[in-house]
Structure 1
């Protein structure tokens, strides 16, 4: 489990707790987050707890009721969040609070809605990353939040789009939306939108296909789509599935290897993933994708 996921799960567990939780109870509530080795778990948990407190998240320390001898317990009291933020749930505010410190928006505009909703910047704390916002048009965000169709020029063509989501992947922002003229979901790189975005007064309803929109590896975001089948040897199968996430589509073969079906919209980023397996992965289809890989390898020799 990645660090950011572990921290978010820890915040969620402490918020949901009706009474202070012991360290052991916390480990049981977040399976897979911490090592089974007690000493390794203790060190990691102490680092996580100290980091969350340094970011301003109020973790309280009290004795676990009914324990003899007394056992230290940890909890985040919802009242510490709910009083000033009646619109959002306590766990939503805590997650926003955490994200605002781990991933800073460029410029750190504390007047932006992101920080007004609950993001809190702690002084002298290093973010894991800074996310650029210069290419984002406020009308896109309004369209997403209020479900209004937007108009913009893209690749010398006007697009009429129902905007669903903005995704930041591998250094680029992508708008995912339903292209009404092409009758399907498309990905638009925000920095390639030409000119100004126009916000219409035409409202739209979310459709069932939108459930297919999810976060994923960087090669799933882009403009040209390919459906690629990739065979990965048993020795690397578990690692590959961890990278691909819970929505990975694959079948396991009798020898323990797997065949993965991936939607690829950014070929160059997919190649980085593919070649990380060296000779333990092979593109099976489509034929043109397989040929591209062979040609690339020949050019390197």
Structure 2
């Protein structure tokens, strides 16, 4: 009995054949690829399988041209479209990439990609040159870029596999207001990286709509909703836009959120904040290198968790109520610490 090949492996086999081919390939060539060569299955079923896989590859951004001799179609991949354009990076951005990659190696989280990641970091370091990686590094920046969440990488692996195979996942999720944990069943549409963390954008079956979930708020493990099934369970809508579906209100919104929030950051961490929020929120720059971040609205819990990553480098300018809340919380924390020290 032949071993069944999953859609991910099948699509990789197809992509490899298209890349290795010196010209257009026909169905006769495709029918010899593992995943389409099972003679027990009808030709039409295998062709439909191929058409689904071809569409999946094209949805990732690959371009495949189709030609015909009047009888049979042929397929050829656009190799130029497979190559990413040159990515210019500032020394700070290059350092950020390097430190994040190093944290994966140091915590042994790279898995089967460890060798490839080591090679990539070597190239990144060599490409930067001696002037590319600043000698004097902000302590906060280094600490923050190495602040890894081991559980998040495990959830990312499960959700990533489910996304590729179009399988629904289930997990326990804690909302922004921390008012309890709910079980969610979600059809993954996309994974988005923002603010050093990962977010799942998908269709929530209970709420009957597209929702965004921060992986760090998932409690426990992520599992397949129907592990006994192996076939794809859903299709991502053709008009789905991951960036458009992702909420731009990073710090939450609602009746209890503070409005017109202004946070000042000193020059030591300003470039980190700029890299995260440029184009999303208004950023006011000053000659000394410091900045003021303008937020239309923000929940205090969400905002203070973020600000906690930059101790001693920020100040709440507006609104007065939020500033007073921060001062009150800091005084309470200091009082607690003094009590423990006695």
Report TM bin, short chain.
0.3 to 0.5
Give the TM-score normalised by the residue count of structure 2: 0.40
Per residue, is there more strand in 1 or in 2?
Answer: 1
Larger Rg: 2
